[in-house]
């Protein structure tokens, strides 16, 4: 014989303030849990969508970020001549030698400094990144002191808006366009002509060479070629892999921090649930006795109270997820430790995170309800009925 679910639900509803206070505690833990997961998911997604699988990134051996890498013109010419490089319909080789530098720019308003990525590239470099379009204005003209700013940069940094100008390399650079880079990391970059940047920063070398693969299977051939050519001290990575790796340190940090916090915070919330459920059992001692006398077995009592605490946990979980989902409209901009460059990303809520959060809430509810439910189930019928 089972006690209907309604019994558990009605009991929670009857003690409204206690239920609410406990659920708020649980909800806040779920909120922290979910937002940290959303933060690392947002960061991961941004970097995963930045790279394409069919592009190959060539960097100096041993460098983990583009800014650490340098490739001299001879080596980059060798790489650009690889037969694995795809050709455009008009016969142009789809390869881009690029220069990447960091520049400190003050944020609008607060004037606080941040490292912004400047990427020097060619027309082909733009073609290799079809996910990046122009939101406003026009592209920079090759051979000119013109630049285009990512959508995440234009609004947030002084001098990066359309029509404004930035000063570096003893020149003024006019912002002629704004990039719409979707959710990719390119939205946090400023693009200009690579040869103009090389002159301005007095760099002979490039940072990286990017090219489109002729066929997906050619990647291994490229690797083999790099390993056997004694002139080359570079290594190849798929662009998608390269960018995905750049989120690792931050994602690990956020995940470790988030999980530690969630576990510790959940202790406090579980204690809240425990208190509430002990209270529920104590104030209903006679009721439990009556249920037992009516013939409900111990197991039914146990299940009824476990259901009650699970419902309590889920209420907190739903509340917490609702609170966390409001964070989706917030964009975080911070320095990525692996690249030292500013990167903007949003809190991203996925069905998996919702599921994990609710499961976490349910677990907290069950943990809080286990001991009180056991106490309720173990009660002696006569003693319970006689209780004041």
Partner 1 sequence: MAFFLRLILRNLMRQRLRNGLTSLGVVVAIVAFGLLRTLVDAWYAGVEGTAPNRLITRNAVSLMFALPIHYGARIRQIDGVRVVSHITWFGGIYQDPKNFFPQFAIEPASYLALYREYLVSEQERAAFLRDRKGALAGRKLVERYGWKIGDTIPLEGTIYPGTWTFVLRGVYRGADAKTDETQFFFHWEYLNETLKRWRSARAEHVGAFVVGIDPPERAAEISAAIDDGFRNSRAETLTETEKAFQLGFVFMTEAIVAVIEIVSGVIIVIVLAVLANTMAMSVRERKREYATLKALGFGTWHLGGLIVGEALLISAIGGALGIALTFPIAAEFAVRLSNWFPIFRVSESTVVLAAGASLLVGILAAAFPVWQVWRTSVTDGLSSLG
Q: At closest approach, how far in Å is the CB of 5 from partner 1?
A: 24
- Rounded Cα–Cα distance for residues 229 and 79 (Å): 10
Of residues 1-20, those binding partner 1 (CB under 8 A)? 17-18
Q: What mask, x for binding partner 1 by CB under 8 A, covers residues 89 to 128?
A: ------------xxxx-------xxxx-------------
Q: Estimate to the nearest angstrom the gap between the alpha carbon of 264 and the chain centroid.
A: 22
Interface positions, 258-287, toward partner 1 (CB under 8 A): 261, 264-265, 267-269, 271-272, 274-276, 278-279
326 counts as binding partner 1 under rule CB under 8 A:
no
Which C-beta is closer to partner 1: that of 66 or that of 84?
66
How does strand 133-137 pair with strand 189-193? Answer: unpaired
Q: How far apart are CA 185 and CA 246, in angstroms?
A: 11
Residues in contact with partner 1, counted by CB under 8 A, come to a total of 56
Both tokens of 157, joined, read 């940094």
Report if residue 174 touches partner 1, rule: CB under 8 A: no
Site membership for partner 1, residue 170 (CB under 8 A): yes
Residues 226-255 that bind partner 1 (CB under 8 A): 233
Which of 238, 240, 241, 194 has its CA nearest to residue 57?
238
Q: Is 241 strand, coil or helix?
A: helix
Residue from 45, 64, 122, 162 in contact with partner 1 (CB under 8 A): 64
Distance CA 356, CA 210 (A): 38
Q: Rule CB under 8 A: is residue 44 a binding residue for partner 1?
A: no
DSSP state of 329: G
DSSP SS3 for 370: helix
Q: Which is nearer to partner 1, 302 or 324 (CB)?
A: 324
Contact indicator for 333, 377 with CB cutoff of 8 Å: no
| CA 83, 84, 87, 93 torsion-angle sign | negative
Stretch that binds partner 1, among 45-53, 64-72, 154-162, 179-187 (CB under 8 A): 64-72
Interacting residues of 215 by C-beta distance below 8 A, sequence separation 6+:
84
Site residues (vs partner 1, CB under 8 A): 17-18, 21-22, 24-25, 28-29, 31-32, 36, 39, 60-64, 67-68, 101-104, 112-115, 168-170, 201-202, 204, 233, 257, 261, 264-265, 267-269, 271-272, 274-276, 278-279, 332-335, 337, 340, 342, 388
């Amino acid at each position: 014989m089972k006690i209907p679910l309604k019994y558990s639900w009605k009991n929670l509803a009857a003690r409204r303030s206690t239920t609410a206070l406990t659920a708020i505690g649980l909800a806040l833990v779920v909120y922290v849990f979910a937002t940290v997961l959303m933060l690392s998911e947002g960061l991961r997604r941004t970097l995963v969508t930045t790279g394409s699988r069919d592009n190959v990134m060539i960097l100096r051996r041993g460098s983990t970020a583009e800014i650490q890498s340098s490739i001299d013109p001879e080596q980059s010419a060798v790489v650009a001549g690889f037969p694995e490089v795809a050709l455009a319909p008009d016969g142009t080789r789809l390869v881009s030698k690029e220069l990447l530098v960091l520049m400190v720019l003050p944020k609008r308003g607060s004037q606080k400094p941040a490292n912004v990525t400047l990427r020097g590239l060619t027309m082909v470099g733009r073609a290799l990144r079809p996910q990046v379009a122009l939101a406003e204005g026009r592209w920079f003209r090759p051979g000119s002191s013109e630049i285009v700013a990512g959508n995440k940069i234009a609004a947030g940094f002084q001098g990066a808006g359309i029509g404004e100008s930035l000063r570096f390399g003893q020149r003024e650079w006019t912002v002629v366009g704004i990039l719409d880079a979707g959710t990719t990391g390119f939205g946090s970059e400023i693009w200009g002509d690579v040869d103009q940047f090389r002159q301005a920063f007095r760099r002979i070398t490039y940072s990286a060479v990017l090219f489109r693969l002729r066929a997906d299977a050619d990647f291994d051939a490229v690797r083999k070629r790099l390993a056997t050519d004694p002139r080359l001290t570079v290594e190849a990575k798929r662009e998608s892999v390269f960018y995905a790796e750049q989120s690792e340190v931050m994602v690990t940090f956020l995940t470790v921090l988030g999980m530690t916090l969630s576990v510790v915070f959940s202790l406090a919330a579980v204690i809240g649930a425990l208190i509430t459920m002990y209270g529920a059992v104590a104030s209903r001692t006679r009721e439990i006795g009556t249920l037992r006398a009516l013939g409900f077995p111990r197991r039914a009592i146990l299940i009824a109270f476990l259901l009650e605490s699970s419902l309590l946990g889920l209420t907190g979980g739903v509340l917490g997820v609702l609170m966390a989902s409001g964070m989706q409209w917030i964009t975080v901009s911070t320095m990525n430790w692996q690249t030292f460059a500013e990167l903007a990303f949003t809190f991203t809520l996925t069905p998996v995170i919702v599921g994990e959060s609710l499961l976490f809430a349910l677990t907290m509810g069950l943990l809080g309800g286990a001991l009180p439910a056991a106490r309720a189930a173990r009660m002696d019928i006569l003693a319970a009925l006689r209780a004041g």
